[in-house]
Amino acid sequence: MGQKKLIKFAAIKEYENVLEYPQDMPGKWNAFFKELAKGTKPIVLEELPNSPSAQNATTHPLVLELACGRGEYAVGLGRMFPNQHFVGLDLKGNRIWKGASIANRDGLKNVAFIRTQIDQVTQYFAKEEVSEIWITFPDPQLRLSKAKKRLTHPKYLRLYQQFLKKDDASNTTGLVHLKTDSPNLYLFTKTVIELFGLTLITATDDLYSTAFMQSDKWDDRCSIKTYYEGLNIASSNRIHYIQFKLDKELPLELDEKLKEMIAEFEVTETHDSLARNGKQAME
């Protein structure tokens, strides 16, 4: 491992706003952020009181950025909404270091990071503890054989359902946001939403078009740009955005149907986009 990476790995070990594979966190996020705001050092996770998650989600909504990389959304939303709590989750410590360092530098006491595997995400949050989830520019996992690794595959949505707040009349909870430059991942996610009967709030294949930005569907939070957003890896030159509710059961039996449906429309596009880019997909 390079020297720079080692320095960043060592730094995040000292940061109170980065938790690496933390134990015993479900139900404690509100208490954790209270200690972070007080400047307690070190924050002893085992000593944090457990509090009713659903109630906290209303007073200080907890928003999760999955596969956050440098955490532009956790940090950017943290600035926009001082009364909400934001957690970025990623496996790569050197990327998390960036967002965590900015949050520390700018005194954002409502922003923290977990370094862990997304597959283990249910270990860190209690039932209904999280109000919203942002997924920004995840690996599109273009190959059909890798479809189960897409972060909007029902396999993952079932994990999110274990801690995402139930839908309420305010339309501001129980939401999942996906930003991607991959037309394939966009179409895939729309197919999942339709097949499982989830409530689609917004879907656009051209987020920054004047028509969409001037419409009442525009959400100012979408103006935050991430590192991967700037790379235009899919060469689509368009940012796609979907906002939906995880408000239905996700029967396992439908996964097979999903597999059949995507096999029909994905093969050509995957091959075409590989040829167009003249490179391997980013997986």
Ligand X SMILES: C[S@@+](CC[C@H](N)C(=O)[O-])C[C@H]1O[C@@H](n2cnc3c(N)ncnc32)[C@H](O)[C@@H]1O
Residue 165 binding ligand X, by CB under 6 A:
no
Site size with ligand X, rule: CB under 6 A: 18
φ and ψ of 26, to 5 deg: -55, 130
For residue 139, indicate whether it is catalytic: yes
Q: Which stretch binds ligand X (CB under 6 A): 43-51, 55-63, 116-124, 156-164?
A: 116-124
Q: Can residue 90 be called a binding residue for ligand X (CB under 6 A)?
A: yes
- Residue from 20, 229, 247, 269 touching ligand X (CB under 6 A): that is 229
Considering the complex, state which of residue 193 and residue 224 has its C-beta at the smaller distance from ligand X.
Answer: 224
CB closer to ligand X, 261 vs 274: 274
Q: CA angle 181-65-157, nearest 5°? A: 80
* Sole binder of ligand X in the list 68, 114, 130, 142 (CB under 6 A): 68
In the complex, the smallest distance separating the C-beta of residue 116 from ligand X, rounded to whole angstroms, is: 7
Q: Contact at 8 Å (CB) between 5 and 89?
A: no
- Quickly count: other Cβ atoms within 10 Å of residue 174's Cβ: 24
Part in contact with ligand X (CB under 6 A); list of ranges 41-49, 135-143, 167-175, 192-200? 135-143
The answer to whether 34 contacts ligand X (rule: CB under 6 A) is: no
Active site residues: 139
